[in-house]
């Protein structure tokens, strides 16, 4: 009986000790400083090196303008960053659309990235209509891939255009399996190759025919000039081809 009591006490003390260690561990883990959750808008594509949105790194010389760089994933953040620009009302920052802005000597650059080419093309058409209806001084716009890029408060259009030239759309689509558009790409390649071969063949034929005609004309003119010079040097003409003939008509010397 004593042994069973001692065994029960031992098991109870063991469980109490395990529960105490578990509670201490949980308390220590909760008190351990954790990494602060990321603040600000979330990006669809984050760099694995430093956790920055990849769109920020697509800014020209992005390291030197890091202090003025602002990432936006909704219209309110974008308007707070660049001000109330009427042309930006034509852009909907939804369904993964993101924007980034930074200040350069040429002006304030704004890059809006759409997830699909259709979204970028639709926004491009709206932006062009807006700028044609109400032009904005100091605003230079260009579509680059899926980017719709602006330079606001541009001091010189040439400098703003040079800044937009530095914006590169460097993303490419890679299929994990078979490319569903492979047949269309092959058809387009075949049509393009056939067109190029046809055009080059026609050009070669026309060029060769033209070259032959020009060469024949030049050769004929040269031969005619040479024959005329020889004929002018003759004192008398004979149709005997240089052969001896009888002077029956007494016309030849």
Residue 90: is its pLDDT beyond 90?
no
Burial (CB < 10 A; 0-12, 13-18, 19+), residue 53, is buried
- The CA distance from 6 to 9, in Å, is 5
Q: Mind listing the pLDDT tens digit for each residue in 115-144?
A: 888 888 898 999 999 888 888 888 999 999
Q: Which two tokens stand for residue 209?
A: 């025919």
Task: Kindly tell me if the per-residue pLDDT of 9 is higher than 90.
Answer: no
Average pLDDT over residues 7-28: 58
Per-residue model confidence (pLDDT) at position 2 = 46
Per-residue pLDDT at 110 exceeds 90: yes
Residue 21: the pLDDT is 61
Q: What is the DSSP string of the chain?
A: -HHHHHHHHHHHHHHHHHHHHHHHHHHHHHHSPPPPPPPSPPPSSB-TTT--BTTGGGSTTTTTTGGG-EEESSHHHHHHHH---GGGGG----TT-EEEEEEETTEEEEEEE-SSHHHHHHHHHHHHHHHHHS--TT-EEEEETTEEEEEES-S-HHHHHHHHHT---------SS--TTHHHHHHHHHHHHHHHHHHHHHHHHHHHHHHHHHHHHHHHHHHHHHHHHHHHH-SS--TTTT-----SSS---
Q: Sketch the domain layout of the chain as residue ranges.
A: 56-165, 177-231
pLDDT score of 31 more than 90: no
Instruction: Write down the pLDDT at residue 88.
Output: 85
Mean pLDDT, the chain, whole residue set: 79
Q: The pTM is what?
A: 0.53
pLDDT tens for each residue of 67-84: 989 998 888 888 888 888
- Would you state the pLDDT for residue 80? 86
């Amino acid at each position: 009986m004593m042994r069973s009591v001692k065994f029960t006490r031992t098991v109870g003390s063991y469980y109490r000790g395990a529960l105490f260690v578990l509670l201490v561990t949980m308390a220590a883990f909760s008190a351990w400083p954790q990494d602060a959750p990321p603040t600000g808008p979330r990006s669809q594509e984050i760099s694995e090196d430093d956790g920055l949105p990849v769109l920020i790194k697509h800014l020209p010389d992005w390291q030197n303008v890091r202090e003025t760089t602002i990432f936006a994933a909704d219209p309110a953040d974008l308007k707070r960053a660049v001000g109330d620009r009427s042309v930006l009302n034509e852009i909907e920052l939804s369904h993964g659309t993101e924007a980034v802005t930074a200040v350069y000597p040429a002006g304030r650059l704004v890059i809006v990235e759409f997830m699909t080419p259709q979204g970028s093309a639709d926004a491009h058409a709206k932006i062009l209509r807006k700028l044609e209806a109400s032009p904005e001084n100091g605003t230079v716009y260009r579509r680059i891939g899926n980017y719709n890029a602006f330079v606001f408060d541009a001091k010189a259009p040439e400098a703003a255009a040079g800044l937009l030239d530095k914006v590169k759309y460097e993303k490419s689509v890679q299929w994990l399996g078979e490319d569903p558009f492979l047949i269309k790409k092959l058809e387009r390649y075949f049509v393009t190759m056939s067109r190029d071969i046809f055009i080059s063949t026609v050009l070669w034929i026309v060029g060769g025919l033209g070259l032959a005609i020009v060469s024949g004309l030049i050769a004929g003119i040269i031969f005619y000039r040479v024959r005329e010079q020889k004929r002018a040097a003759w004192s008398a003409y004979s149709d005997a081809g240089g052969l001896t003939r009888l002077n029956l008509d007494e016309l030849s010397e």
